């Protein structure tokens, strides 16, 4: 068996085009463009790349992009004050505080300060609770993008066995809640899980979000399983001095066993920004009433 490749890049491009068209409709009716504010604290190189990409994509979707950069030395009070200012700014529909924050800042305290109606990352306790309770709210972008890819590939997910490997607040936990909401039977695996290969083998859907290159082996998979690889790991390339990106799943091995798999890069990664723009458009509509 050779797995089909799930083209997240193409899906994300199409979603971004649809959001751009709807954003133009919103602007025509509301007399203003949807606006997304991104807060970056410190100079983490990966975060800088992500924030730049988010700003560019926001403008390309016909939205206003507000970028706020604070030095790594900024205090928690300063970050919270900026969030409060953005909560009160009528031109701002969505607020995203790029994580991780510097060690001296309590992430929970900053996230909790975000107005739940502008929380396009879906990280505030209110939105986490809404997802857990099956209520409308904002859902974290990466897992929602994974769910879109799964529904596009499989259709109705009801009754399928799914395993989510990784229990982070950003991906693993919300992913499990979304799959449960889609009536899957969900297992959440983590570093203390016993006999992971056996649990993966029982799953029709495998979502890997652990941040360990190639950890999930192809021969662990149930033949024909759908594999969503959230990992983005930079490892040494074949030529000296080069690097390359790989996922959490051993891609070559999985190709021989899975029914379908997202590649890295070009799978889940592009979905995150596309869903962020979609959530910002939804926030603009909700705020406009
Ligand atoms: N850092 C890594 N992923 C994310 C994300 O989805 N949102 C935010 N705010 N920070 C992140």
Q: Which domains does the chain have, with CATH numbers?
A: 31-116 (3.40.50.10860), 141-268 (3.40.50.720)
What DSSP string describes 74-103? --HHHHHHHHHHHHT-TT--EEEE-SPPPT
Q: What is the pLDDT of residue 282?
A: 98
Residue 188 known to bind ligand? no
Q: What is the pLDDT of residue 1?
A: 76
Atom of ligand 1 nearest to the CA of 47: 1
Residues 6+ apart with CB under 8 A from 101: 41, 42, 79, 107, 110
Cα 220 to ligand 1 centroid, rounded to whole Å:
29
Cα 1 to ligand 1 centroid, rounded to whole Å:
35
| Annotated catalytic residue 33 | no
Tens-binned pLDDT, residue by residue, of the chain (289 aa): 799 999 999 999 999 999 999 999 999 999 999 999 999 999 999 999 999 999 999 999 999 999 999 999 999 999 999 999 999 999 999 999 999 999 999 999 999 999 999 999 999 999 999 999 999 999 999 999 999 999 999 999 999 999 999 999 999 999 999 999 999 999 999 999 999 999 999 999 999 999 999 999 999 999 999 999 999 999 999 999 999 999 999 999 999 999 999 999 999 999 999 999 999 999 999 999 8
* Ligand 1 pocket, Cβ-based, cut-off 6 angstroms: 96-99, 121, 141-142, 170, 272
Residue 163 known to bind ligand? no
Q: What is the pLDDT of residue 143?
A: 98
Cα 47 to ligand 1 centroid, rounded to whole Å:
8
What DSSP string describes 218-232? GGGSPTT-EEEE---
Could you report the per-residue pLDDT of 183-232, keeping only the tens digit for each? 999 999 999 999 999 999 999 999 999 999 999 999 999 999 999 999 99
How far, rounded to the nearest angstrom, does the alpha carbon of residue 277 sit from its chain's CA centroid? 12
- Owner of token pair 């009160």: 88
Which residue in the list 119, 121, 229, 250 is annotated as catalytic?
121
Residue 183 known to bind ligand? no
Cα 131 to ligand 1 centroid, rounded to whole Å:
18
Atom of ligand 1 nearest to the CA of 140: 6
Question: How many angstroms separate the CA atoms of 139 and 72, rounded?
Answer: 28
ipTM score = 0.95
Residues 6+ apart with CB under 8 A from 241: none
Q: What is the pLDDT of residue 289?
A: 85
Instruction: Indicate the top mutation candidate among 37, 38, 50 to test ligand 1's pocket, ranked by most ligand atoms within 8 A of CB.
Output: 50
Residue 191 known to bind ligand? no
Cα 59 to ligand 1 centroid, rounded to whole Å:
19
Q: Which residue has its alpha carbon closest to ligand 1 atom 1?
A: 99
Q: What is the pLDDT of residue 192?
A: 98
Q: Which residue has its alpha carbon closest to ligand 1 atom 4?
A: 99
Atom of ligand 1 nearest to the CA of 142: 6
Structure tokens at 188: 């959440």
Which residue in the list 33, 98, 119, 250 is annotated as catalytic?
98
């Amino acid at each position: 068996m050779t797995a089909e490749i799930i083209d997240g890049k193409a899906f994300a491009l199409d979603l971004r085009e649809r959001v751009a068209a709807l954003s133009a409709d919103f602007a025509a009716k509301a007399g203003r463009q949807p606006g997304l504010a991104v807060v970056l604290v410190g100079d983490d190189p990966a975060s800088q790349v992500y924030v730049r990409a988010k700003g560019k994509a926001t403008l390309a979707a016909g939205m206003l992009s507000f970028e706020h950069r604070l030095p790594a030395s900024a205090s928690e009070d300063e970050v919270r004050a900026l969030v409060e200012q953005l909560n009160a700014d009528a031109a701002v529909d969505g607020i995203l505080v790029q994580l991780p924050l510097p060690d001296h800042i309590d992430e929970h305290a900053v996230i909790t300060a975000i107005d739940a109606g502008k929380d396009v990352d879906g990280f505030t306790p209110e939105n986490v609770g809404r997802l857990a309770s099956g209520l409308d709210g904002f859902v974290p972008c990466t897992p929602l993008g994974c769910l879109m890819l799964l529904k596009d590939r499989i259709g109705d997910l009801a009754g399928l066995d799914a395993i989510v490997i990784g229990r982070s607040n950003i991906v693993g936990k919300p992913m499990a809640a979304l799959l449960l909401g889609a009536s899957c039977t969900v297992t959440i695996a983590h570093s203390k899980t016993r006999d992971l290969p056996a649990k993966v083998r029982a799953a029709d859907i495998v979502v890997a979000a652990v941040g360990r290159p190639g950890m999930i082996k192809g021969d662990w998979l149930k033949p024909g399983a759908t594999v969503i690889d959230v990992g983005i790991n930079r490892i040494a390339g074949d030529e000296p001095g080069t690097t390359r990106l790989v996922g959490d799943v051993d891609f070559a091995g999985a190709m021989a066993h899975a029914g379908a798999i997202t590649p890295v890069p070009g799978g889940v990664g592009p979905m995150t920004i596309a869903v962020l723009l979609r959530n910002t458009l939804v926030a603009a509509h909700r705020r406009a009433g």
